[in-house]
Every structure is written in structure tokens, then in C-alpha cells.
Amino acid sequence: MIKATYKKYILNFKNPSGTSRGILKTKETWFIILEQNDKIGIGETGLFRGLSIDDVPFYEEKLKWVCKNIKVGIAALLKELLEFPSIQFGLEQAFLSLQSADKFELFPSEFTKGQKSIPINGLVWMGEKEFMKNQIIEKLENGFSCIKMKIGAIDFDAEIELLQAIRKEFSAKEIELRVDANGAFNPNNALEKLKILSELEIHSIEQPIKQGQIEEMAMLCAKTPLPIALDEELIGVFSSEEKKKLLATIKPQYIILKPSLVGGFAGSLAWIQLAEQNNCNWWVTSALESNIGLNAIAQFTHTLQNNLPQGLGTGGLFTNNFMSPLQVKSGTLHYNPTINWNFNL
């Protein structure tokens, strides 16, 4: 007999972090805890207020319902939770955790043994020009060869100046530059901005215009001088038919998979399969989960054997994260099995 409970947890940012949707100071998250005999399983349902499709007033009620109905098993629960991708993901983790010899080792591999690492991008948050510049310098000093910069909040010309400053010192072979607009561009002038960015040999741009503008995004992907990656566009697209139609219509160069937002491991794998059928590449990104969720995403990502830098380096943003074996070294994410977890709620 499995007993299920849930708990809420508020993560506090070390520094308020800027996106085009505003400044983040805290991040709400939830945990599902399963108990069976003397075993415990833990899963993080990484709700992202203002972004998750399951950001609804009755979210906690749904978690209560899941805990009451845990006996029906994971397959039946996942079907019922189609419109709650973050809870799907938390359940997948919790059941894998319960079945594992070590509750934090969901996908045993060379990664969890500390023998292999995952290349990741260094994330530069929005803010004043000087603040962004300092973050870029820090990432370069820490050995990152791929930097992702959030753009669209300060003046576009100032953002271009920052990117130009990097390109003056480092070629595209030395430093891969990605930008994430979080939908900040206007469809009327987005192509013009993409042309300016392409002169700086940018690897890709995430979500240049707001999600839901399918025709405009398809036109951009057809005419763009630099690769476009869909991110928010994938949120709330549930059925296989809808997913197929979206990729066939827009024809993006990349898609970005955030398991908390697209239905966990199963949801991510469904998107990956369709992307590969459409000659579309992909990478995986965390979505401000605690180290519990980040650990699950990292272990899963390693099994996919994708050589592109992944978006997995966000564990150090919070003051009250859980101590974990995850370590960022020289632009890669490592799992150090000699470090113990400290998970106390």
C-alpha cells in the first residue's frame, strides 16, 4: 500500500532575476512524497506561476486528489492529469524514486556515477547593462563556451552592444551565443531584429514572438537568417495530433523541452520523436525547479545522449535550495556521488 502526501515550498532567489515577464524574487514549487513500507519516493511538481498551463486556482485541490487516488497507479493517473503537466512530472519522479535503490538516482548511468558530465549553457539574466555585462564576464571566467542571454527587457540597441562586445573578443567557434526573447518581439519588426542578431553569429533565438501566433511564427521560421527555437509555444499542446500539426505548420529549427511544462519524461519523449520526424533538433531545459527537479531532468537528459549544451545550470540561483551532488564545473553539469543530499522540508 502506497501512502501519498504533498508539500508546498517557496524558493528564494539570491538576486532578483529579470525576464521579459518581470522580476522574479521567489519561486513556488510543490513536492509529492510517496511512502511504501520503509521506502520513500520524492517528486517535484515544478509549477511555474504565470507560465505553466496548470497555473490554476484549484492546483492544490488537484494534488490532494492525486494523493487520495494514488492506489490507481501511475498509468491511470497520468491519463487523468493531461492538463497538469507539472503534476505528471512530479508523479513520474516520485514513482521512479520509490522503485530505486537510491531515491535520488532515478536513471542510474555514468552521469550518476560521476564519470560523465552534461554540457550546459551559462544563463545571463536581464537587468541593467552593467549587471548583464558582469554576469557575462563571470560565465566566461567559469569556463562556459555556450552563453544564453535573455533579451527583450532593456533597450534592444543596448543588448546588441553587449553581444557585440562578446563577439569582438570571442569568435563563434570559441563562444556559442544563444538568446531568449521570451516572446518580447513584435511580429511586425521581429524579422528585422533577427537580421541584426544574425550578423553576430548567434546560434539560435528562443521564442522571438509571443506564443499562439502560429502563422506569424511559421513565416519567421521560413525567412529567418538565424535558427529559431520554440519554447513557450509547446506549452498547453496536449494531443499527438496537435503536436504534429504545430511542428508541421511552423517548421522550427529547434524545440526546447521543459519537462515541468510539457508533461514530464513521457511528454518530452513524445515531442522529441515528432521533432526528429520533422528534421528539427532539440535540447532540454529546466524551469527553475529546486535541485530535486533539476536532478531528475539532468539524469533523464543524460540518457538521451544529445551533444548540444543543455539548459540545466539553474540550481545555484536560490538561497534555500537543497544540498545535492549536482555541481557546475567549466560549463558542464556534474554529479558528485561523494556529496550527500540534504532534503528537509
What residues are annotated to the active site?
150, 258
CA pair distance 65, 236, nearest whole angstrom: 21
Region of residue 305 (left: phi > 0; alpha: psi -120 to 50; beta: else): left
Work out the burial of residue 326: count CB atoms within 10 Å of its CB; fewer than 13 is exposed, 13-18 middle, 19 or more buried: buried
User: How far is the CA of 141 from the CAs of 121, 137, 259, in angstroms?
Assistant: 14, 6, 30
Q: How far is CA 104 from CA 233, 287, 296, 340, in A?
A: 31, 19, 8, 10
Contact 209, 187 (CB under 8 A): yes
- Please give the angle made by the CA atoms of 185, 191 and 192, to the nearest 5 degrees: 95
CA 343 to chain centre: 22
Give CA–CA dist 232/261, Å, rounded: 9
Contact 287, 261 (CB under 8 A): yes
Contact 103, 112 (CB under 8 A): no
Cα separation of 155 and 13, whole Å?
A: 25
Q: Looking only at Cα atoms, what is the longest distance across the chain?
A: 62
Find out whether 212 and 240 touch, Cβ atoms under 8 Å.
Answer: no
CA 203 from centroid of its chain's CA atoms: 18
**Non-local CB neighbours of 45 within 8 Å, separated by 6+ positions:** 6, 29, 30, 31, 32, 63, 86, 87, 89, 90, 91, 260
- The number of residues in the chain equals 345
As a whole number of angstroms, the distance between CA 155 and CA 153 comes to 7
